[in-house]
Structure 1
Amino acid sequence: MIRFRPLLVMTIFALVALVFLVIAGRWQWEKYELKTAAADEPVAEMTIASYQPVPDAIQFVHGVRPDTREQGWRVFAPVQYGDTTVFVDAEFIPEITPPEPSEVRVPALLRLGAPINGASVRPEPPAPFTLSPEPLRRLWFAIDLDAMGRNGGLANVADYYIASSYVGADGRATPNPFAAAPGADALPPARHLGYALTWYGLALVLLVIYFAYHASVGRFSLRPPRPPEE
């Protein structure tokens, strides 16, 4: 017969911590599965040649370059491509401070009218505990193409974006460091597996400590109660 009389405050804190650990572990496990499945798949490339930039609807997505670990803001510039609006990740602003939208021009690549070539990327869902966007400032902490399009007053937004080359101040084009999405980070699948096992392991340790403490103070027992002595 199981006897269990949980401590209220400790139980509440333990449940909150357990939920956090399980969510974090599941997120890392999903990243592991996603990267494992995509490891041998080539990045889809596409080219669009006839388009019209939409300068007043540029959005900014916070990112950390996987090649240099530098924080900054990815410039997602929409272009009208036939009946579809396609966001183009065409520039990176290496500043922690968010850019002022009125001071950011359409990236040079799009102003030249040259064909846009790059990886066609369908973004993955936001990670747990991702910061909330700031639509009035056009700032995003996860790529949400539908919401970004609505924020810019755009219609028929594609469910993918193009990670094109970045053109520097010297006019030279460099490969887009985020073009290896999904995930857009440099961590290998095994690292995500390790993180997932760590989070799940901490959840297990939490449960062991929780029940061990209750057992130590006589509030949890798997043994039947002793019969009263005559």
Structure 2
Amino acid sequence: MHFRPLPLLTLFAIPALALLVGLGLWQLDRAETKRSQIAAFEAAREAPALALGDLLCGTGEPFGRRALAPEPAGDTVLRVYGRTREGAPGWRLFRPAEAPGCVQARLILMETGFAPLDGEAREPGDAAGLIYAAPPRAGAFTPGPEPQERRFYAFDRTALAGALSVAPEALHAQGWLAADDGQLPAVLAEVPPERHVGYAITWFGFAFALIVVYGAFHAARGRLAFTGGKD
């Protein structure tokens, strides 16, 4: 075998290969991290429900923990776009509740029902319960808030606080009390571990293809051979 690499092509190929392999390893790490997060969330959900003060002011990770419903702090209802566990679109209904003293905010949002786009609003039911969850954040294509109609498509602290007639800092922004529909939150469910593994396989496939093309190009130029032939 003899091999005489092309300097310029090799200069570009080595960092490209390192990048592709690195992306694959990163996706495998993301898959493992996501598995750990899902396991932690499901374990937290199985724990007994806590009063809001104990949940947020105690020790341990509060996200995913079941919470006892506090008393609403007013009658204002805010609508946040969402879907049922069956996928039906509609408005998730939230009311403000008093936040515990350890939180640097006076109010926290609490889900109290769901209004389908083609039906009447309904309560989530006692069986659903509440969990402390991270609210959805706006993406590049998320519609803007409609505070006058009290309709929102993501968590916008300033707009939501304005609809409640309070200052933005009065509304707790790290989490809210969401109805527990038995499903994983979107941040964990949208890209499951299996998809991260699929992404990793794709990146490793690109890396393998790069090696094949690199070798085939050198072989075609007579710079790579597995025999003892001369140039």
TM-score normalised by structure 1 residue count: 0.54
Superposed displacement of residue 92, structure 1:
2.9
Contact 1:59 / 1:77 at 8 angstroms: preserved in 2?
A: yes
Superposed displacement of residue 204, structure 1:
0.4
Change (3 A) 1:4 1:32: farther
Q: Distance in 1 between matches of 2:115 and 2:91?
A: 6
Contact 2:27 / 2:196 at 8 angstroms: preserved in 1?
A: yes
Partner of 1:149, secondary structure, is helix
Partner of 1:51, secondary structure, is coil
Which stretches in structure 2 are left out of the alignment for 5+ residues?
11-16, 47-64, 100-104, 225-229
Match of 2:42 among 39, 43, 48: 39
Q: Distance in 2 between matches of 1:120 and 1:212?
A: 51
Superposed displacement of residue 148, structure 1:
5.6
Counterpart position of 2:209: 209
Q: Residue by residue, what CA displacement relative to the aligned partner does 1:65-89 show, whole Å, maximum 9, x if unpaired?
A: 33x2x23134242325277222222
Number of aligned residues: 184
Counterpart position of 1:134: 143
Amino acid at match of 1:72: P
Match of 2:155 among 139, 144, 148: 144
TM-score normalised by structure 2 residue count: 0.54
User: 1:173-184 counterparts in 2 under 5 A?
Assistant: 176-177=180-181, 180-183=183-186
Q: Distance in 2 between matches of 1:124 and 1:222?
A: 58
Q: Residue by residue, what CA displacement relative to the aligned partner does 1:10-34 show, whole Å, maximum 9, x if unpaired?
A: xxxx999999988876665443221
Contact 1:53 / 1:78 at 8 angstroms: preserved in 2?
A: yes
Counterpart position of 1:161: 176
Change (3 A) 1:222 1:123: farther
Instruction: Give me the identity figure in percent.
Output: 6
Match of 1:61 among 72, 77, 81: 81
RMSD: 5.1
Partner of 2:218, secondary structure, is coil
Superposed displacement of residue 135, structure 1:
2.1
1:119 aligns with 2:119: no
Which stretches in structure 1 are left out of the alignment for 5+ residues?
8-13, 110-114, 165-175, 224-228
Could you say which structure has the higher strand fraction?
1
User: 1:49-88 counterparts in 2 under 5 A?
Assistant: 49-55=71-77, 58-63=78-83, 65-66=84-85, 68=86, 70-81=87-98, 84-88=106-110
Amino acid at match of 2:202: L
Q: Distance in 1 between matches of 2:80 and 2:22?
A: 31
Q: Residue by residue, what CA displacement relative to the aligned partner does 1:83-102 show, whole Å, maximum 9, x if unpaired?
A: 7222222333444xxx9xxx
Larger Rg: 2
Q: Distance in 2 between matches of 1:61 and 1:218?
A: 56
Q: Distance in 1 between matches of 2:34 and 2:135?
A: 10
Contact 1:62 / 1:73 at 8 angstroms: preserved in 2?
A: yes
